[in-house]
Chains A and B, each alone.
Chain A
Amino acid sequence: MGKKPIWGAALAAAGLMLAACGGGGGEETGGAPGGGGSAAATTVKIGVMGDLTGENSGIVIPLRNAAQLAFEEYNATNPTTKIEMVEYDSQGVPEQATALAQQAINTDKIVGLVGPAFSGESRQVGPIFEEAKIPSVSASATNPGLAENGWKYWHRIVGNDLTQGGAVADYMKRALSTKTTFVIHDNQEYSKGVADVVAKTLKDGGVTVQTDVIDPQGSDYASTVNKVKAAAPDAIFYGGYYAQAGRLLKQLRDGGVEAQFLSGDGSLDAGLAKGAGGDNADGAIVSCPCLIDPTGKAGPASKKLADAYKAKFNADTAIYSGEGYDAATAFIEAIKAGKTDAESINEYFKTIDVPGVTKQIKFAENGEPAASDVYVYLFKGDAYTLLGNAKEASKPS
């Protein structure tokens, strides 16, 4: 029974040891700026933290790739201050993220962080970066509570769950004319946040709402399936990540539940269709405060990123790649403006106002993006396509 905690503790200990061992040697790499030649190129380190190899890495790798692309494009212009990207694979586990944060601060001496990717790890890591006075820009942590901590070094470039949940609930009512909805989540920070907003918005709109919670570690969701069958809803909203969403959707369809399935950005991955098996995911609608636009419909910047991304990674842009690119751009703009240490980069973020791929890169005082939209996507086969802005999109035929 104690297996998992033991493993976690061992990892944390290993992380601390790494951080401790590296403490001495870190100076040479971190403090490279040459005292002599003024034109000598210097290098600053910017971290990227998130689940890069774990169960839900599918929604983090595209943003890592896009950030890498942005930094490489910038370095290719031969600037006086180059950027070195450092990866921190937290696997989305908060305990692991905190150990990595110490390593990033003490050993690697990063001046900024793209991430952490998920809300749960962001909550744990936020205070650590706040204390170390290192600015972060998350491209994908959407929990509303994160902006309410009074953190001065924390930012995100993506709309939060309140925005998303409200928008998708309005869409369900307006376009799908739902009368009874079943809302399910897996009790993780992000999942509960978005599901609660959807449930509340629908209830306030006069829709009958029933709820249930699943165990993300479990594999048998039969009890939830039974509840949904008994409730006979016309729509199901699931708050959570795609691995569990796929599993749940499969068991719902196997159990004979035909109701319209919807979910939030955590499920926006081909893994949803894979996990659901067969054509179970066909017709599923997934919302996202992110813009995924591999064909570059939305504009020239979107098109340019899609082409460059395709050329480098031989893959289409995917979830959060635009936002990852924008988060990296925020740091690049700061460094272009000559802000090469953590404190002055953070200062610069207060006034930054440049066009990004997905939105204007501009932060409100609490670190939220100044403006953002929610989009809905439709699954068919192994892929999903943009249905449109949740405000205007209609019911798919």
Chain B
Amino acid sequence: MLEGFLNQFWPATVDGLSLGAIYALVALGYTMVYGVLRLINFAHSEVFMVGTVAALFTLTTLGVSGQLGGLALIGMLLLIAVVAVVASVVTAVGLEYIAYRPLRKRGGSRLAALISAIGASLFLQQLFALIVIPRLFRLPQEGGRLPVQAPGWVRRSDVVTIGDFVVRNDKLLVLVAAVLMMVALDQFVNRTNLGRGIRATAQSPENAVLMGVNIDRIITATFAIGGAMAGVAGALYLMRFEETNYFVGFLLGIKAFTAAVLGGIGNLRGALVGGFVLGLIEMYGSALFGSEWQHVVAFVVLVLVLMFRPTGILGESLQQARA
């Protein structure tokens, strides 16, 4: 068992980080909305799904054929990421306007918003399975529930090879892109006016209003930023796995939410740490005990962490997550 683990240590580390990077990007959406609204936006998994579908649609529309490597790959990734971000942001903000804001304005409880989130999530899944995916990719009606494959567009090659430590180009790209996005977000939240508004609202909505912060604008911005991160995650996912389906956000959404809780929900850097830790635990756990134990190991670790640090590894709260 241990020997197997040692054999797989470096590959598991690389895969864990690249898996964790996608968890972390999606986790940001959960954590930001939670920080500002104290709401678990369960429909965020579908924001990610919309991102993957938009990215795939861009690829098929452009008729990308032949495998891309090097700069061409990065350029194409940027392009599909932009489209995915637009689609995801529209979805996330749309959710806020249709599913959450009306409830908030009428003084609905948090529980009502949670149910609304679950409803919106199911609605989006089925809408995509029944109408959007079949229409976009010209599939027969029942094709909407099947995985849709991208043309093989990524030429995979090893960019770093040091003994057992081999890093493939797509995994490296996922990691680098995710870290870049997170650094950018961290700077944005800490350095800009809008970022200050988000932090203020997270700290105390009442006081933020008194200080002249337009709360509705802040909330919209929060959803938009979370959506943008999910869009980037969607594009990266499509590069890594080259397929998607209407249900793709479900498991990944749960994992990302777990990562957010593990790192400390409401905490931006916590999402990053939680994502990477969860990705690594899953891969190490699989290497040690077999892949069927992946989820068991991950959630045992989550429970243990929460027993000793109920607010997650880095602790709760958006406002304190700063340099």
Shortest Cβ distance from B144 into chain A, in angstroms? 9
Q: Which residues of chain B are within 8 angstroms of A52 by Cβ–Cβ distance?
A: 142
Cβ contact within 8 Å between A227 and B295: no
Shortest Cβ distance from B169 into chain A, in angstroms? 11
Q: Which residue of A lies closest to B279 (CB)?
A: A220
Shortest Cβ distance from A226 into chain B, in angstroms? 4
A275 to B150, alpha carbons, bound, how many Å? Answer: 9
Which has the most chain A C-beta neighbours within 10 Å: B42, B121, B241?
B241
Cβ contact within 8 Å between B8 and A227: yes
Q: Which residues of chain A are within 8 angstroms of B12 by Cβ–Cβ distance?
A: 222-223, 226
Q: Which residues of chain B are within 8 angstroms of A218 by Cβ–Cβ distance?
A: 251, 294
Q: Which residues of chain B are within 8 angstroms of A251 by Cβ–Cβ distance?
A: 241
Per DSSP, are chain B's interface residues mostly helix, strand or loop, or mixed? helix
A3 to B122, alpha carbons, bound, how many Å? Answer: 8
Shortest Cβ distance from A65 into chain B, in angstroms? 14
Cβ contact within 8 Å between A277 and B242: yes
Say yes or no for B15: interface residue by CB 8 A criterion: yes
Say yes or no for B214: interface residue by CB 8 A criterion: no
Shortest Cβ distance from A220 into chain B, in angstroms? 6
Which residues, 103 to 156 on B, are CB-close (under 8 Å) to A? 118, 121-122, 142, 145-147, 149, 152, 156
Cβ contact within 8 Å between A213 and B292: yes
Contact A277 to B149, CB < 8 A, known contacts A53-B142, A226-B8, A226-B12: yes
Stretch at the interface among B222-230, B264-272, B281-289: B281-289
Q: Which residues of chain A are within 8 angstroms of B152 by Cβ–Cβ distance?
A: 277-278
| Contact among B243, B282, B291 for A247, CB-based, below 8 A | B243
Q: Which residue of B lies closest to A250 (CB)?
A: B242
Cβ contact within 8 Å between B42 and A3: yes
Cβ contact within 8 Å between A222 and B19: yes
A107 to B263, alpha carbons, bound, how many Å? Answer: 52
Say yes or no for B305: interface residue by CB 8 A criterion: no
A251 to B156, alpha carbons, bound, how many Å? Answer: 11
| Contact among B118, B251, B287 for A223, CB-based, below 8 A | B287
Q: Which residues of chain B are within 8 angstroms of A3 by Cβ–Cβ distance?
A: 42, 118, 121-122, 250
Shortest Cβ distance from B282 into chain A, in angstroms? 7
Q: Which residues of chain A are within 8 angstroms of B237 by Cβ–Cβ distance?
A: 219
Cβ contact within 8 Å between A274 and B149: yes
Q: How large is the interface on B (under 10, 10 to 19, 20 to 34, 35 or more residues)?
A: 35 or more
Say yes or no for B310: interface residue by CB 8 A criterion: no
Say yes or no for A344: interface residue by CB 8 A criterion: no
Contact A54 to B147, CB < 8 A, known contacts A213-B290, A215-B295, A223-B287: no
A309 to B248, alpha carbons, bound, how many Å? Answer: 35
Say yes or no for A39: interface residue by CB 8 A criterion: no
Say yes or no for A311: interface residue by CB 8 A criterion: no
| Contact among B241, B257, B287, B291 for A213, CB-based, below 8 A | B291
Cβ contact within 8 Å between A220 and B291: no
Which residues, 199 to 248 on A, are CB-close (under 8 Å) to B? 211-215, 217-227, 229-230, 243, 247
A305 to B15, alpha carbons, bound, how many Å? Answer: 49
Cβ contact within 8 Å between A223 and B282: yes
| Contact among B42, B142, B257 for A57, CB-based, below 8 A | B142
A52 to B152, alpha carbons, bound, how many Å? Answer: 28
A229 to B19, alpha carbons, bound, how many Å? Answer: 19
| Contact among A7, A215, A230 for B4, CB-based, below 8 A | A230
Cβ contact within 8 Å between B15 and A226: yes
Say yes or no for A55: interface residue by CB 8 A criterion: yes
Say yes or no for B205: interface residue by CB 8 A criterion: no
Q: Which residues of chain A are within 8 angstroms of B195 by Cβ–Cβ distance?
A: none
Q: Which residues of chain A are within 8 angstroms of B187 by Cβ–Cβ distance?
A: none
Q: Which residues of chain A are within 8 angstroms of B4 by Cβ–Cβ distance?
A: 227, 230
Q: Which residues of chain B are within 8 angstroms of A215 by Cβ–Cβ distance?
A: 251, 291-292, 294-295
Cβ contact within 8 Å between A275 and B149: yes
Q: Which residues of chain B are within 8 angstroms of A4 by Cβ–Cβ distance?
A: 250
Q: Which residues of chain A are within 8 angstroms of B18 by Cβ–Cβ distance?
A: 222
A215 to B297, alpha carbons, bound, how many Å? Answer: 14
Q: Which residue of A lies closest to B147 (CB)?
A: A243
Say yes or no for A337: interface residue by CB 8 A criterion: no
Q: Which residues of chain A are within 8 angstroms of B291 by Cβ–Cβ distance?
A: 212-215, 221, 223-224, 227
Cβ contact within 8 Å between B286 and A223: yes
Q: Which residues of chain A are within 8 angstroms of B168 by Cβ–Cβ distance?
A: 254
Say yes or no for B320: interface residue by CB 8 A criterion: no
Q: Which residues of chain B are within 8 angstroms of A247 by Cβ–Cβ distance?
A: 147, 241, 243
Cβ contact within 8 Å between B19 and A6: no
Say yes or no for A187: interface residue by CB 8 A criterion: yes
Q: Which residues of chain A are within 8 angstroms of B11 by Cβ–Cβ distance?
A: 222, 225-226, 229
Say yes or no for A1: interface residue by CB 8 A criterion: yes
Cβ contact within 8 Å between B295 and A55: no
A16 to B8, alpha carbons, bound, how many Å? Answer: 49
Cβ contact within 8 Å between A55 and B19: no
Which has the most chain A C-beta neighbours within 10 Å: B42, B152, B237, B283?
B152
Q: Which residue of B lies closest to A61 (CB)?
A: B142
Contact A227 to B287, CB < 8 A, known contacts A275-B149, A277-B242: yes
Which residues, 73 to 122 on B, are CB-close (under 8 Å) to A? 118, 121-122
Say yes or no for B207: interface residue by CB 8 A criterion: no
A7-B122, A222-B11 known, 14 other contacts, Cβ within 8 Å: A3-B250, A55-B147, A213-B291, A214-B292, A217-B250, A219-B243, A220-B241, A223-B15, A223-B287, A224-B286, A226-B287, A274-B149, A275-B149, A277-B242
Ordered by A's residue number, 20 sampled pairs between the chains whose C-beta atoms are within 8 Å are: A2-B118, A3-B121, A4-B250, A53-B142, A55-B146, A55-B245, A213-B290, A215-B251, A218-B251, A219-B243, A220-B240, A220-B241, A223-B15, A223-B287, A227-B291, A230-B8, A243-B146, A254-B156, A275-B149, A277-B149
Top 5 nearest A-B pairs (CB, nearest first) are A223-B286, A213-B292, A222-B15, A226-B11, A53-B142
Report B's interface with A, CB cutoff 8 A.
Answer: 4, 7-8, 11-12, 15, 18-19, 42, 118, 121-122, 142, 145-147, 149, 152, 156, 168, 237, 240-243, 245, 248, 250-252, 254, 257, 282-283, 286-287, 290-292, 294-295
